[in-house]
């Protein structure tokens, strides 16, 4: 028996892998990939555990605090992995770095970009210290 999670993940991967590869190949073929930043992410990750204990629950719970994504083109070096969760695999610890990288690739300094919220100017990377990870950049 295929669980909803495993079956659904396989079905979505089969429906998206080829078109995604075609998009990247087309952008590269046309010389646009170096100037186009592609960000591929889902709406959430998966916990390292599941609360349900019955035999059919081989999936894991939705997880809004830790997730996977990838970048291509637009100044990103291929084949580089960056990121981590805390020791319990509960929270991503490098989200501010991701924001700093994307802002940099868009030509913005994450230390200077602010938005007005609740009577004060805030920075996207203000909550936790962010660093621009040079290893990710071409």
Instruction: Write down the pLDDT at residue 32.
Output: 97
Q: Which residues pair with 69 in a beta bridge?
A: 41
CA distance 39 to 13: 16
User: What's residue 52's pLDDT?
Assistant: 64
Assess contact for 125 and 111: CB atoms under 8 A. Answer: yes
d(CA 75, CA 70): 13
Residues 135, 77 contacting (CB under 8 angstroms): yes
The predicted structure's pLDDT at residue 68: 82
If you ran DSSP here, which 8-state letter would residue 6 be given?
H
Mean pLDDT by 10 residues, the chain (138 residues): 64 90 96 95 71 58 78 94 82 85 92 86 79 90
The reported pLDDT for the residue numbered 1 is 41
Say if pTM beats, i.e. exceeds, 0.85.
Answer: no
């Amino acid at each position: 028996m295929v669980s909803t999670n495993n079956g659904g993940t396989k079905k979505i991967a089969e429906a998206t892998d080829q078109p995604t590869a075609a998009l990247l190949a087309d952008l590269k073929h046309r010389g646009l990939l170096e100037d186009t930043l592609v960000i591929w992410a889902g709406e959430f990750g998966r916990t390292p555990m599941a609360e349900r204990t019955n035999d059919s629950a081989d999936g894991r719970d939705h997880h809004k605090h830790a997730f996977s994504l990838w970048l291509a083109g637009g100044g990103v070096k291929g084949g580089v992995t960056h990121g981590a969760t805390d020791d319990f695999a509960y929270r991503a610890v490098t989200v501010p770095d991701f924001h700093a990288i994307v802002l940099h690739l868009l030509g913005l300094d994450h230390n200077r970009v602010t938005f007005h919220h609740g009577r004060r100017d805030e920075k996207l990377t203000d909550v936790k210290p962010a660093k621009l990870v040079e290893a990710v950049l071409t």
